[in-house]
Structure 1
Amino acid sequence: MSKFNAFMKGNVKETETVKLKLDRFPEPIELRPLTAGEADKINEHCFVNKPGPKGKMERVFDVVKYNRGINTASIVYPDLNDAALQESYGVRGAENLFSEMFYLGEAAQILEKVTEISGIGGSLNEDIEEAKNS
């Protein structure tokens, strides 16, 4: 038997979703933790090229886009990809729906819970700086 048996996919404990009650909504939203690979893919899409000193283009990390991507990817319920839900807010796309549906404070609560259940310890700003430098 492999000495790594405890780490084989079939032996890993399934993670459960976590409910987060936001005051404005009658039902809680459900969140799931994100894997490192999912966070990496979100991270890859959060760099933009902007003119820097002397007009030279620089890659700049968009923290807002990263946080929005993490929040959107972690929400299991309600389904932010649901066309009827998007239509009710007059938007298309999960990230646009997230922007319209949640207030700034609610987005911060979601981000805090997502980082907690995904096992990110320490300061979120430290994690963002690390993501920028990777």
Structure 2
Amino acid sequence: MNPEEQAQEEVKDQQRQETSVDDFLKENVEQVENVKVKFNRFKSPFEIKPLTNAEMEALRKQCTKVTKDRRTQQVQKSVDQDKLSDAMVSAAIVSPDLNSQKLQQNYGTIADPVGTAKAMLLAGEYTDLLMAIQDASGFETSIEDDVDEAKK
């Protein structure tokens, strides 16, 4: 190992020692707040919550179709991305309550919270809301951005 590589290893060792497990305990991690998304057509903003990894895994599982090839006996799984997007919207919206009977009756979407959201919103608004949910849930931050931020 040349002197430059050795110096780099020493710096990495020092950084590892400075990082404590305590930095990663729940009580020391910054909590993510709900986000308000305002559309001009509505008097009040929509309130959305960030989705956790566990919630996303459950939604992904609900939206996964399993098929078995009869000839080869191989099992294939595929995620219905449209269904997953709809499930994310339904799970993340805190306000308005998409399960409200009054709201569903008004939009003619009885027992269909996703249908209520789709009936309420224009296509672009629905997409903007989905993007806000993804952003709040950490999907918009690339790992490169996080690495650059950690280096500062």
- Do the structures match in fold with TM over 0.5? yes
Match of 1:104 in 2: 123
Aligned length: 120
Task: Give the counterpart letter for 1:121 in structure 2.
Answer: E
Choose the corresponding residue for 1:75, options 82, 89, 93.
93
Written as runs of structure 1 = structure 2, the 5 A alignment for 1:1-134 is: 4-48=21-65, 59-91=77-109, 92-121=111-140
Q: d(CA) in 2 for partners of 1:58 and 1:13?
A: 39
Distance in 2 separating the partners of 1:61 and 1:113 = 21
TM-superposed deviation, 1:109: 0.2
Distance in 2 (alpha carbons) for counterparts of 1:42 and 1:11: 28
- Larger relative contact order (C-alpha < 8 A, sep ≥ 6)? 1
Name the aligned partner's letter for residue 74 of structure 1. Answer: A
Aligned-residue sequence identity (percent) comes to 31
Normalising by structure 2, what TM-score?
0.66
Report the Cα distance in structure 1 between the residues aligned to 2:126 and 2:43, rounded to whole angstroms.
17
Q: Deviations over 1:42-98 (max 9, x none)?
A: 11111235798x9x9954321111111111111111111112111111112312212
Secondary structure of the residue aligned to 1:34 is: coil
Deviation at 1:101, TM superposition (A): 1.6
What letter corresponds to residue 112 of structure 1 in structure 2? M
Secondary structure class of the residue paired with 2:56: helix
Q: Distance in 2 between matches of 1:93 and 1:69?
A: 11
Highest CA radius of gyration, 1 or 2? 2
Q: For structure 1, list consecutive stretches of 5 or more residues without a partner in the other structure.
A: 124-134
- Structure 2 gaps of 5+ residues are 1-19, 143-152
